[in-house]
Amino acid sequence: MSKVSVLIGCAFGDEGKGAIIDYISPHYDIVARSGGGANAGHTLVVNGVKTIFRLIPSGVLRSNTKSILGNGMVIDPLILLDELNKLKNMNINNGYLNKIIMISDRAHLVMPYHILVDKILDKDNKIGTTKKGIGPAYTDKIMRRGIRVCDLFDEDLLIEKMVDAILGWKHVFANEVSEDILPTRIIEKLKPAIDEIKKYACDTVYTLNNLINIGTNILVESAQGTGLDIDFGTYPYVTSSNSSVGGAITGLGIPPTRITNVIGISKAYITRVGSGPFVTKITDKVGKYIQEQGNEFGSVTGRPRDVGWLDLCSLRYAAMINGFTELALTKLDVLTGLSEIKICNDYQHLKTNIRYDDNYYKNIVPIYKSFPGWDRDISGIKMFDDLPIEAINIVNYIKEQVGVPISIISVGPDRDQTIQR
């Protein structure tokens, strides 16, 4: 039977999905990305060399793994072209990338005007978006005026659709005159990317389902995390798509009944970039220490990420929404050297079910359980039992409190620095 695994971020993105996907991808024939766009930055470190992908799934560096960019994604053609060129330069699959990469012909495209709109609408950083045009591209999708990959095959129709979309944003452009809103200029600018994307476009929905039917193993790579989900996250401080398990289904056309396991991925602490509530945020020098040790600076925008203690209330909520069957715990090594490690296991005065939205969070005070830390370098450890007892106690506590087994622990950025249980 086909194994269909979905990997979901537990908090506000940046949980280390890239490294974990790269590590487990040899067990899968296909890695398929279901949502988001170039707002994500999945970092891989192979033999000490760091590579960041924003659009192409993180399994692409494994020679036998094929990659699918699903219909739920919003794809920036220029960034995709850049990534494809990067892979060609690395000589991945001898440069024959169209044999290993498929792009859904239903995926939406992020146009230059979407990026412009994003920059104008969030100029005061109320949400703190990545300014990659994500919200406006998903808005056009819902408004039924989006540009899809399949539209690239008819240039006249493409221009007509662009005019329609650009007119839809004219209230935003009121005082802006830019080449990014002239359809013919846009096409000129995007031409090399458009020509390239057309080589990879296909109906990935049938491809995926046919492959599942013949027993192919699929790993679904989601982007961002449950705290940024448009329905279940800290609305309105969220991204514009379903980054929880529902998005994995609608973003690829995989039936929910074919999913065999859902892997939640959580750091041993939490980070958040952009605005929005953050109950367990650490504001003293400990936060700074974790930020530096964990290199917590955005891989897309370079912004420093706020750091907080692990929040089991939100982790249990993520486990409920997504139905996690296992957890991957990343960056445990970053906590090395702290004399005290805290984990939030409850909220004070909790009278209602946790709602995980902005209004609810305003009145929340976290209750912490304190753990002693460890000093010993754990970044070379391969077996769980070889970890310091203090680290083992923390992992076991998280497992018990969330009620989900922890199958993978990462103790460093390289694919080899991973403990499998």
Q: Which residues are catalytic?
A: 14, 42
DSSP at 303:
P
Which whole-number Å values give the CA distances from 291 to 90, 111, 164, 304, in the listed order? 31, 34, 44, 8
277 binds ligand IMP, rule: CB under 6 A: no
Report the alpha-carbon distance of residue 335 to residue 186 in Å, rounded: 47
In whole angstroms, the minimum distance from the beta carbon of 327 to ligand IMP comes to 19
Q: Which of 104, 111, 35 is nearest to 79 (CA)?
A: 111
In whole angstroms, the minimum distance from the beta carbon of 371 to ligand IMP comes to 26
Piece of 130-138, 285-293, 368-376, 387-395 that binds ligand IMP (CB under 6 A): 130-138
In whole angstroms, the minimum distance from the beta carbon of 390 to ligand IMP comes to 29
Out of 5, 12, 19, 146, point to the residue binding ligand IMP (CB under 6 A): 12
- In the region spanning residues 297 to 316, those forming contacts with ligand IMP, defined by CB under 6 A, are none
322 binds ligand IMP, rule: CB under 6 A: no
DSSP at 304:
B
Q: Which of 171, 79, 161 is nearest to 120 (CA)?
A: 171
List b or e across 187-205, with b for residues whose CB sees 16 or more CB atoms inside 10 angstroms.
eebbeebbebbeebbbebb
Shorter beta-carbon distance to ligand IMP: residue 106 or 132: 132
Residue indicated by tokens 């039917």: 213
128 binds ligand IMP, rule: CB under 6 A: yes
Cis peptide before 236 (omega within 30 of 0): yes
Piece of 12-20, 179-187, 245-253, 365-373 that binds ligand IMP (CB under 6 A): 12-20
Out of 30, 44, 228, 343, point to the residue binding ligand IMP (CB under 6 A): 228
253 binds ligand IMP, rule: CB under 6 A: no
Q: How many beta carbons lie within 10 A of that of residue 297, not counting itself? A: 15
28 binds ligand IMP, rule: CB under 6 A: no
Report the alpha-carbon distance of residue 337 to residue 237 in Å, rounded: 33
Shorter beta-carbon distance to ligand IMP: residue 224 or 345: 224
Report the alpha-carbon distance of residue 216 to residue 230 in Å, rounded: 31
Q: Return all residues near 288 (Cβ < 8 A) that are at least 6 apart.
A: none
Report the alpha-carbon distance of residue 2 to residue 30 in Å, rounded: 11
330 binds ligand IMP, rule: CB under 6 A: no
Q: How many beta carbons lie within 10 A of that of residue 240, not counting itself? A: 24
x/- track of binding to ligand IMP for residues 54-93 (CB under 6 A): ----------------------------------------
226 binds ligand IMP, rule: CB under 6 A: no
134 binds ligand IMP, rule: CB under 6 A: yes
Out of 71, 104, 234, 239, point to the residue binding ligand IMP (CB under 6 A): 239
224 binds ligand IMP, rule: CB under 6 A: yes
Using only the alpha carbons of the chain, give its radius of gyration.
Answer: 21
Shorter beta-carbon distance to ligand IMP: residue 24 or 273: 273
Residue ranges that bind ligand IMP, judged by CB under 6 A? 12-14, 39-40, 127-130, 132, 134-135, 223-224, 228, 237, 239-240, 273-274
